[in-house]
């Protein structure tokens, strides 16, 4: 069974945890500084485990990452670079729902050299704004317009 570490137990994590726990091949660990939230998400599922973890506890974070097959970071984006660096160090794949910050982009070559995937912008919010942006761009092009520049503030 593959172990998936989910960092963070906020509202966005709930559907992800439920989905993964419904799959037959995953053990799901939810680590949160508020362990009661993680316990609630696991909901006594036999393939789930809740752990208390403060991301400022680097040794604890390293241990959890080292013991996992995949890390899904659902914490605020400012923590992603630290998590990504430890994933690179331990050769663990990582997924986030956040946009690619400059700091995360700068880790790209290290991740490739480590043979791991760091996949960002996976989730509902980034997906919706990307689809809406493409809809608008295609609409402009269909009407003969030309996009000179595009910036998203989402």
Which residues carry out catalysis? 125
Q: Can you say whether the dihedral through the CA atoms of 45, 49, 52, 58 is positive or negative?
A: negative
As a whole number of angstroms, the distance between CA 138 and CA 152 comes to 16
Full DSSP string of 47-95? TEEEEE--TT-HHHHHHHHHT-SEEEE-S-GGGHHHHHHHHHHHT-EEE
């Amino acid at each position: 069974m593959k172990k998936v570490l989910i960092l963070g137990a906020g509202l966005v994590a709930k559907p992800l945890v439920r989905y993964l726990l419904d799959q037959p091949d995953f053990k799901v660990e939810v680590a949160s500084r508020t362990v009661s939230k993680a316990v609630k998400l696991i909901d006594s599922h036999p393939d789930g485990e809740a752990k208390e973890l403060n991301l400022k506890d680097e040794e604890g974070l390293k241990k959890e990452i080292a013991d996992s097959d995949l890390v899904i970071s659902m914490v605020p984006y400012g923590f992603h670079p630290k998590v990504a660096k430890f994933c690179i160090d331990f050769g663990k794949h990582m997924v986030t729902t956040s946009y690619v910050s400059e700091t995360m982009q700068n880790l790209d070559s290290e991740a490739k050299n480590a043979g791991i995937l760091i996949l960002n912008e996976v989730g509902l919010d980034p997906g919706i704004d990307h689809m809406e942006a493409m809809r608008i761009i295609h609409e402009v092009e269909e009407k003969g317009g030309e996009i000179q520049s595009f910036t998203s503030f989402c």
